[in-house]
Amino acid sequence: MANLDLEDFLILKEIYRTRSITASVEQIGLSQPSISIRLNHLRRHFGDALFVRTAEGMMPTPLLEKLLPRIDVASELLSPPGTGTADFDPASSSRTFRISLAHVAQMTLFPELLTLLEKQAPNVRTESMELDRETGSLLESGQVDVAIGFAIELNRGFYQQRLITEHYVCIARHDHPRIRASLSKEQFLAESYVETMAPATGHSLLNKALEERGIERTIKVRVSSLLGMEKIVASTELVAIVPSRLGRTLAQGGMIKLLKIPVPIPSYEVRQYWHERYHQEPGNRWLRQFIFDAFLDMPMP
């Protein structure tokens, strides 16, 4: 096997991304035995195992890790001019996309995304993952395709694109004994709060913004997720500050009410992120454009 072609590079990149020969079948378009045969040829060509089986799947050898950046360059050079989203057919693809989402995005945007995908890409499968400190490395390795939310740590090596601008509101139980239809500044400062601990997301900027304005709240409960916020607020006298889209979603159950925050708090941008390694990958490009078209400046429900 003196010469390599684009398909050989695709095999190496896809096994690296999926950590599995079986899982790479879908994207490569060859049978599992055919991929195994090509991989064995590649091993002989490079004089290296390239991948070894571990408890975490097919992991690359140091040589392959060193070769991967060059393989990316070679793949781009060998790709036909104009290669792009046209190489990904959403109507027929059964690819699995993995999307990392902030809690708010998972509760407010993800259901809408699934509805739209069902119409345009009915065979595509999706897996949602939490947006956290590991998201960057997962995007870089290809284990996650796109992240949605506000990630303060995704900078060098990542692309980002604004989708919507979000602001905060207060929520309280519908029959709160002290809070009626509006919230005064005195009440805002006097009430006890339930707060979400989300250090890698935009919610982590909330306390900083309040501190810069000299505003101190009484935090009585801290939770790691927004997913149970509705029941906590509805069953106690605690109040919470949440993004407005989430607040409106929670208020639909009739157990809590939305309140304007009586002090100035800056808004923030919800963005989508992807790693530069997959900037030109057809499926990733299609997914990013699909998300952008679906959510750019989406009006409040």
Highest mean pLDDT among 13-22, 58-67, 73-82, 186-195: 186-195
Model's pTM, two decimal places?
Answer: 0.68
Query: How many C-alpha atoms does 295 have within 13 Å on its Cβ side?
Result: 29
* Residue that has been written with the tokens 């250090």 in this structure: 199
Domain boundaries of the chain, sorted by first residue = 6-82, 90-165+269-295, 168-266
Please indicate whether the domains covering 6-82 and 90-165+269-295 agree at the CATH topology level: no
Instruction: Choose the weakest-confidence range: 43-47, 107-111, 202-206.
Output: 202-206
Q: Which CATH architecture has domain 168-266?
A: 3-Layer(aba) Sandwich (3.40)
Q: Which residue in the block uniquely carries the two structure tokens 């035995």?
A: 33
Q: Give the three-class secondary structure for 219.
A: strand
pLDDT digits over 203-243, tens only? 667 888 888 888 999 999 999 888 788 999 999 999 999 99
Residue 79: what pLDDT? 60
pLDDT for 85 beyond 50: no
Closest CA to 237 of 147, 168, 300, 175: 175
DSSP string over 4-36: --HHHHHHHHHHHHHS-HHHHHHHH-S-HHHHH
CATH topology of domain 6-82: Arc Repressor Mutant, subunit A (1.10.10)
- Where do the H-state alpha helices sit in 103-262? 103-108, 110-120, 135-141, 185-190, 204-212, 229-234, 244-251
65-79 pLDDT per residue, tens? 888 888 877 776 666
Q: Name beta bridge partners: 151.
A: 201
Q: Has domain 90-165+269-295 been given CATH number 3.40.190.10?
A: yes
84 — pLDDT class (breaks 50, 70, 90): very low
* Cβ pair 1, 39 in contact under 8 A: no
| Residues contacting residue 230 through CB under 8 Å, at least 6 positions apart | 250, 253, 255, 256
Q: Give the model confidence (pLDDT) of 113-134 as tens digits.
A: 999 999 999 999 999 998 888 8
Q: Out of 6-15, 22-31, 47-56, which region has the weakest mean confidence (pLDDT)? A: 22-31
